[in-house]
Structure 1
Amino acid sequence: TVNYRNKIFNAFANAGIGNGAGFNNMTFFSRLNGMVQDEVNNTNNDFSSNNYRAGIDFFLGKKHTIGLLVSGGDNQRNNRLYNRITLAPENTPALIDSILVANSRAENDRSQGTYNLNYRFDNAQGRTLNIDLDYGAYRNGSYRYQPNQYYNADETVPLTLIVNSFDTPSDIDIYTFTTDFEDKLWDGTIGAGVKYSKVVSDNLFLVYDEPNGLPVRDDRRSNKFLYDEQVYAGYVNYARALGKKWQFSAGLRAELTDAQGDLQAFLPELEEPPVMFDYLSWFPSAGLTWEVTEQHTLAISGGRRINRPDYNVLNPFNNQMSQLSYEKGNPFLRPEIVNNLELGYTLSHRYNLKLAYSKTTDQITRLIAPDEVDPRAGFITWDNLASQTILGLSVSAPVQIAKWWNAYFNGSASHINNQADYGDGGMVDVQAFNYTIFQQHTFDLPWAIKGEISGYYSGPGVWGGVFLYESNWGLNLGLQRKFLKERLNVRLAADDIFYETGWDGYSDFNGLYSYGGGRWDS
């Protein structure tokens, strides 16, 4: 890291490199279409990365600043995947029909660069103007080689071999223009701004059959997906004090979205029309704070917001772990609209209690469902729930137990209700209660060493639309000491020392029951 500053400009830069290795192990037991499947999916990976960030600010007098910021990086990751599925009839699960082994290898290269040009005006009396021009370029390359080898029941005789490879590059460009203005008005502060963003996503999905070791492109499965999104937004908000004990704020944001997803097939008979989205949305918000006494504060706030799907989950390509197990995106995903209301209480400016209610329309979620073509296959996809309703309570408290011992406690509990009807038996009617307890303890130890113990416990709950998970917990330890007048910080940490962080649970949706669990190098 380098930094230089004088009266005219300030310049800085930093860079870093890294490498490492990891693993991710998952198991699934599934029932679908009269069959049972016992699946093991283990992944080992190694990676290397580099990143950089540099910027310069020019001071054009006391009120004006122009800045330029550049950042980026590269990441290379190699994965080795072991996938094994045992197939048997559901009425006689001990009589194995066949075994599928798909030992794959994957190479992933990612690079990104972001560029920001900023102008800021500040008269030091409450009036500010901020203008940003941003551009981000994201380039992803991915190649996977996957042999699918079927064996007999005792895995001694090879049966059918199906070899595929997948070449799936993706380019994403994001352009953004933002202007924010703020000034004093009627003993309060008014803010207003506009934003324009454009996203262009170009994705290629090339599938190759390799029956004799030579790749031959499968034009029925290969395609191209183009996504173009433009968002025009504007907002205004106002905040002021109402007397000595009340604070009020209100705002309104409008967004006009124009988006198109175009899945282009390599064969004319497979062509489909583009998916078009064009809508105007309004998002009001308001808040009121009452300082009852110096030690007691009440606050209420409400609002409406939009959450758009990530661009990668709009991509309809099949990310295949084996011939019978894959993940795919959904180009028909709609953004989710969240309406929320919160009531908060603060004691002594330290202890917080919050009651929250939210109802989300078109909640974006992941679902596990059977394949429509192959009765043996299942896949993970993204879809919209009709609604998700959450009622939650949270408390937090920092506590000094002794002069050398400080603690922080946080607890939360919520009730979730997911509802959807996709037709043909695809119903979602799931209710779940979840609670989480987190605590962190820091200690002043001899020789200027600081110690830390932190951990959490999470009760059962629901993830996504229908996946009901079991409880899990984790415990972390750390030691820290500073040297060279606190300019050098040395830290030793051990996370999840009992290796209990992970997930276990089940999904029962649209004729596919699946129980699974996963662990990683936590």
Structure 2
Amino acid sequence: MGLYNLKRYATFTPLNRQLKQPNIMIKLFKLSATLLILICFFQVQAQTFKVSGQITDQTKKPLDYASVALIHLPDSVSLGLQVTTKEGVFEFKNIKAGRYFIKVLMVGFDKKQSLSFEVKEKDVLVPTVALKAQSIDLKEVNIISRVPVIDQKADRTIVNVEQMNTAGDNALEVLSRAPGIKLDKDENIILKGKSGANIMIDGKMSYMSGAELTTYLKSLPGSVLSKIELITNPPASFDAAGTAGFINIKVKRNKMQGTNGNANLGGGYGKYEKVYGGLNLNYNIGKISSYVRLNAGRYNSFNRLTLNRAIGNTQYNQVNFWHPITNSLNYSAGADYFLNEKHTVGVMFKGYASPDETNVDSNSPNYNAIGVKQGQVNMINPQENHSGNYALNFNYRFKMDTAGRELGFDADYVNYSNNKTERFTNTYFDGNDNLLGQPINLRNNGMGEVAIYALKLDYVHPITKTLKLETGWKSSWVTAQSDVRFDSLKTAGWINDARRTNAFNYKENINAGYASLNQSFKKIDIKIGIRLEQTLGNGFSSGTNTTIERKYWKLFPNLSASWAINDQNQLTASYRKSINRPSYRSLNPFAFYSDPYTALQGNPLLQPSYANNYELNYSLKNFRLLSVSYATTKGSEAEVIYQNDATKESISRPENLNQVSSLYFATGSPVDLFKWWNNNTEVSASYNKTTSPVQGSGFSAAQWSWGVSSDNTFTLPKNYALSLYGYYEAPSVSGLFKNLENYAINIGAKKTFWKKNATLSVKLNDVFATGKFRATLNYNNINTYWQNEWENRKVSVNLAIKFGNMKIKTARNRRTSTGEEEGRAGN
């Protein structure tokens, strides 16, 4: 079994027993009570009034769904946004005494603002505001306005996925096309040469990594993604975990007024067939904004791992072939309820189920020094795996005043579970393919569960117009347990194999507090922050009688600055210290065997790794001219293979390396070469170095590397478009692996119709079937060639349709289709 599938197995072979969850209900109740007291306190601090009025057109006909902003003077701070009723009426409540004006925005009409007015002693009725209709229509606006695929911001890079041809792609494949991202041998995400990126879904932590994350992203169709945000050096309000930063995946959610949605249906074929579909419904009326998303698919695919091992004078050639058939279901639902202009509560529920049946075949012939076959081991392993997770979130936002003070609270619960059964049959042959003895039969039954609780409180306090304080606290509790039982078939029947049976329990509590200051000058913004985290963990493995203890405090500073040199030049710089904690599987000292020669074993002595991350970006006319990042990591986690030359066994074990450093350069942004040709090319160069003792001997590897990717869209008449994407990655160093070159080309086409509410796309991925991971391992007695390939070459067809009411609704404290206007409302 290959390392990726072995990791998946080791991660998802947990236990059959009831979890003992930490009792946080009392803590949650106390915190909720405290919040209610705070709310009541702030509500009675000052006498407030009501501001209301009506919006009409020039014929005095009331306009519904117009966006009305209340602006405070003299600081031009927007108090909030309202959407008018069917009678064209708006109403702002709990307004403090002061001077204000209103600004009105509505699609199809010129924007307009009222005269200023004074609020004191009584409610205010604003004189009727009449809007003038515009002479252009929405079709003209759509032609003029085009969202770029890549949008470079001061603190993050935004990939607008809806502008890409994602027919047949899953979320992991879409991510691999984002700037600075590539996948390693086990399909883990590498961002700007660094592993350990934290994944967020719609701004909420996914709490997934490794094989769990890969499985989830593969079950999520790329057509449901809206944006991808790459945040390599986040501020102190983010967790310190994640040496490569954060990746926020935003799923499509239409915030327009009324009931609307979109649907997609697609299929594809490579070596095997696959089909998928999804539905996204949104309901936005009055004080309620809600959504429901469902995506399902049947994916028939393969993974082939080829290993060539030189053990003394013997050559072992191993080919493992996995053929999984997966039926996946992704679901999510959520709602925001706006109590009034200041208070918003929200709930969210999401999850996925991904049962699969996998047939595994492994063939391992061995040859002597002159190439004569000495023997062979064949293994078949039919598997049934039922994995899934679900997550619950409750959130509350309190906008305290017009100055920008805000309090936020989140409570999360996440649960992962898995059931797995396997049957191994190992058959041995001599050099002439004669059977040696009887086949060896093994079986495994594993069950498990991981539960995560988290509470978070954030507070924003503007000290002056240019100085802002942010502070907060977060606590999380994790319970992870696994139970693996292997049996061997003997003459007397199935007998437990104690060498391969184990129960592992691990509990962890992380508490964190942070504070940051943001100072704005005329052209320069500076943000400095500090985060303090406490980690408490303990675990026990019954199979090896090993106890794990973790108790430590750590400080994590960060600093960022942006300088708008002029209207066309911008420079940003940042520094962040981060931590990458070992996964729960990595700490389990038990060895999980996938075949007679291959096993994966955890390491209870594994320690967290710490990284210092530096980044510099320079943009000219919104073009990312140069991006430079440098990171040094102490104790970076890497898989170290221990090979027994006598038994021919290879056991992979995670260990801390002494130091890993990476230097990364990149340039490139989307540009219109012609009106009909949009090109997004990124050229990168990197230098990676690993220096560490490995198995008692010194190891050092360093190499310069380079890569290029180019995504091209050709706009044709009658709403047709063609796409051409290609990438090349030169040989590089990653931990102990020396990666060989990797490249691929994708082509596609799409047609929009039905008033641009429907899109039909077709795509051929990896045209020449070259997208394979290839690497070598050479240290001590290890001499291995590694090749991992997936069903990359496939043709896919996808139909996406938008439907429902398209009138725009602007919601308080949320980014909507009038986000740009909200930002300019006070100008």
TM-score class, shorter? over 0.9
Q: Give the structure 2 partner of residue 429 of structure 1.
A: 700
Residue 471 (structure 1) shift: 0.4
Residue 8 (structure 1) shift: 3.3
| Higher normalized strand content (fraction of residues) | 1
Shift in CA distance, 326/65, structure 1 to aligned 2, threshold 3 Å = same
Residue 392 (structure 1) shift: 1.7
Q: Is the 8 A contact 1:35 1:376 kept in 2?
A: no
Q: Is the 8 A contact 1:33 1:376 kept in 2?
A: no
Shift in CA distance, 424/477, structure 1 to aligned 2, threshold 3 Å = same
TM-score by length of 2: 0.60
The reply on whether 1:278 has 2:555 as its aligned counterpart is no
Shift in CA distance, 289/12, structure 1 to aligned 2, threshold 3 Å = closer
- 1:406 and 1:257 map into 2 onto residues whose CA distance is 48
- 1:70 and 1:204 map into 2 onto residues whose CA distance is 28
Q: Is the 8 A contact 2:500 2:591 kept in 1?
A: no
Q: Is the 8 A contact 1:366 1:380 kept in 2?
A: yes
Q: Give the structure 1 partner of residue 722 of structure 2.
A: 451
Say what the alpha-carbon RMSD is for the aligned residues: 1.9
**Structure 2 counterparts to residues 4-19 of structure 1, below 5 A:** 4-19=283-298
- 2:407 and 2:370 map into 1 onto residues whose CA distance is 69
- 2:367 and 2:499 map into 1 onto residues whose CA distance is 30
- Answer with 108-117 or 486-495: which moved more: 486-495
Picking from 665, 670, 688, the partner of 1:416 is 688
Shift in CA distance, 42/406, structure 1 to aligned 2, threshold 3 Å = same
SS in 2 for 1:220: helix
Q: Give the structure 2 partner of residue 479 of structure 1.
A: 749
Picking from 374, 388, 392, the partner of 1:111 is 388
Runs of 5+ consecutive residues of structure 2 not aligned to the other structure: 1-279, 793-827
**Structure 2 counterparts to residues 46-195 of structure 1, below 5 A:** 46-89=325-368, 92-122=369-399, 123=401, 125-186=403-464, 187-195=466-474
Shift in CA distance, 34/362, structure 1 to aligned 2, threshold 3 Å = same
| Higher normalized helix content (fraction of residues) | 2
Q: Give the structure 2 partner of residue 496 of structure 1.
A: 766
Q: Is the 8 A contact 1:351 1:398 kept in 2?
A: no
- Answer with 287-296 or 187-196: which moved more: 287-296
Shift in CA distance, 128/93, structure 1 to aligned 2, threshold 3 Å = farther
SS in 2 for 1:62: coil
Q: Is the 8 A contact 1:370 1:510 kept in 2?
A: no
Picking from 388, 400, 404, the partner of 2:672 is 400
Query: After superposition, what is the alpha-carbon deviation per residue over 1:95-134, rounded to whole angstroms, capped at 9, x for unaligned?
Result: 3322111111111111211000111112454222110000
Shift in CA distance, 188/352, structure 1 to aligned 2, threshold 3 Å = farther
Q: Give the structure 2 partner of residue 227 of structure 1.
A: 506
Residue 423 (structure 1) shift: 4.3
Picking from 773, 778, 789, the partner of 1:508 is 778
**Which structure has the larger Rg?**
2
Residue 302 (structure 1) shift: 1.1
User: Taking every aligned residue pair, what percent have the same amino acid on both sides?
Assistant: 25
**Structure 2 counterparts to residues 322-361 of structure 1, below 5 A:** 322-361=595-634
- 1:371 and 1:157 map into 2 onto residues whose CA distance is 25
- 2:736 and 2:497 map into 1 onto residues whose CA distance is 34
Query: After superposition, what is the alpha-carbon deviation per residue over 1:196-238, rounded to whole angstroms, capped at 9, x for unaligned?
Result: 0111101011111113594221123311111111100111111
Q: Give the structure 1 partner of residue 525 of structure 2.
A: 247
Residue 504 (structure 1) shift: 1.5
Letter in 2 for 1:332: L
The reply on whether 1:462 has 2:736 as its aligned counterpart is no
SS in 2 for 1:312: helix
TM-score by length of 1: 0.94
- 1:312 and 1:478 map into 2 onto residues whose CA distance is 40
Shift in CA distance, 286/45, structure 1 to aligned 2, threshold 3 Å = same
Letter in 2 for 1:157: L
- 1:211 and 1:47 map into 2 onto residues whose CA distance is 33
Residue 422 (structure 1) shift: 4.0
- 1:19 and 1:423 map into 2 onto residues whose CA distance is 44
Q: Is the 8 A contact 1:36 1:93 kept in 2?
A: no
Q: Is the 8 A contact 1:264 1:271 kept in 2?
A: yes
The reply on whether 1:387 has 2:659 as its aligned counterpart is yes
Q: Is the 8 A contact 1:369 1:509 kept in 2?
A: no
- 1:379 and 1:507 map into 2 onto residues whose CA distance is 14
Q: Give the structure 1 partner of residue 588 of structure 2.
A: 315
Q: Give the structure 2 partner of residue 300 of structure 1.
A: 573
Shift in CA distance, 210/277, structure 1 to aligned 2, threshold 3 Å = same
Residue 345 (structure 1) shift: 1.4
Query: After superposition, what is the alpha-carbon deviation per residue over 1:376-416, rounded to whole angstroms, capped at 9, x for unaligned?
Result: 11133322111101122111222211001110111111111
Runs of 5+ consecutive residues of structure 1 not aligned to the other structure: none
- 2:307 and 2:356 map into 1 onto residues whose CA distance is 25
**What number of residue pairs does the alignment pair up?**
511
Residue 77 (structure 1) shift: 1.2
- 2:450 and 2:644 map into 1 onto residues whose CA distance is 29
Letter in 2 for 1:441: N
- 2:312 and 2:488 map into 1 onto residues whose CA distance is 27
Q: Give the structure 2 partner of residue 441 of structure 1.
A: 712
Query: After superposition, what is the alpha-carbon deviation per residue over 1:473-495, rounded to whole angstroms, capped at 9, x for unaligned?
Result: 01111212223223222211111
